[in-house]
């Protein structure tokens, strides 16, 4: 089954938040969804421009690219070469499927959010929170973006190891998600950890590895 089906990605705008792996997930979902309709990818924070998609900064160009190829990227270029949020009016409704990376995590598997994060579009139909299984069993100080805040939410110290139960506590307290995708479940011994996470979350959970193209719905 395709990942879009397991994550229940429907028409409209889907926001991706949380830890590392959001960009890879966004482009993978875009590839799957292209078979179902037009797809637009972008960010409300910052991402590097994709090499495989045309970046359209004007409305006319964007509409033409979606008509011609069915898939495009939009955003506002920065001096550093990244893309920020689109400046085009009504970009949220220009494609059948709109995928938005709405969070940054500096590549860490887990993240705690400050008051102004994530940057979620009001038009979203769903929010998928991403985590990385490779962070389990390692200290919060190294595996979490904003480790001090993460530890406080988890009721732990920064030198404690991240467990599925601890990660689920942070996710539940923040309450930003509709569903969870646990990435980087690359080894057999990581599947029991994934199932422990699913058991203590209150939402649909899918786990797997984007790198190897394997996943399954756990809850």
Structural domains of the chain in order of their starting residue, each with its CATH number: 3-217 (3.40.50.300)
- Residue 20: its pLDDT value, please? 81
b/e map 160-189, b = 16+ CB within 10 Å? eebbbebbbbbbeebebbbbbbbbbbeeee
- Residue 33: its pLDDT value, please? 98
- Residue 199: its pLDDT value, please? 98
Average pLDDT taken over every residue of the chain: 96
pLDDT band at 133 (very low <50, low <70, confident <90, very high): very high
Listed in sequence order, the residues at least 6 apart from 80 whose beta carbon sits closer than 8 Å to its beta carbon are none
50 has a pLDDT exceeding 90: yes
Omega of the bond prior to 118 within 30 degrees of 0, cis? yes
Helix (H) or strand (E) holding 63: helix 59-68
Listed in sequence order, the residues at least 6 apart from 206 whose beta carbon sits closer than 8 Å to its beta carbon are 3, 6, 7, 179, 180, 181, 182, 215, 216, 217, 218
Contact 16, 25 (CB under 8 A): yes
Listed in sequence order, the residues at least 6 apart from 217 whose beta carbon sits closer than 8 Å to its beta carbon are 1, 6, 204, 205, 206
Instruction: Enter the DSSP assignment of 185.
Output: -
pTM: 0.94
């Amino acid at each position: 089954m395709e990942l879009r089906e397991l994550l229940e990605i429907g028409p409209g705008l889907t926001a991706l938040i949380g830890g590392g792996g959001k960009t890879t997930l966004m482009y993978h979902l875009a590839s799957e969804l292209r078979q179902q309709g037009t797809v637009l990818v972008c960010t409300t924070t910052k991402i590097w421009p994709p090499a495989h998609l045309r970046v359209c900064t004007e409305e006319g160009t964007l509409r033409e690219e979606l008509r011609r190829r069915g898939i495009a990227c939009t955003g506002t270029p920065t001096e550093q070469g990244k893309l920020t949020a689109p400046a085009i009016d009504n970009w949220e409704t220009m494609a059948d499927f709109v995928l938005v990376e709405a969070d940054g995590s500096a590549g860490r598997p887990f993240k705690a959010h400050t008051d102004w994060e994530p940057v979620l579009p009001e038009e979203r139909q769903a929010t998928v929170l991403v985590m990385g299984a490779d962070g389990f069993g390692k200290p919060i100080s190294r595996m979490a973006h904003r480790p001090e805040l993460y530890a406080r939410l988890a009721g732990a110290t920064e030198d404690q190891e991240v467990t599925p139960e601890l990660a689920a506590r942070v996710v539940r307290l923040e309450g930003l998600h509709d569903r969870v995708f646990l990435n980087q479940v690359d080894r057999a011994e990581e599947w029991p950890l994934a199932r422990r996470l699913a058991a203590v979350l209150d939402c649909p959970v899918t786990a797997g590895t984007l790198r190897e193209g394997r996943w399954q719905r756990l809850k």
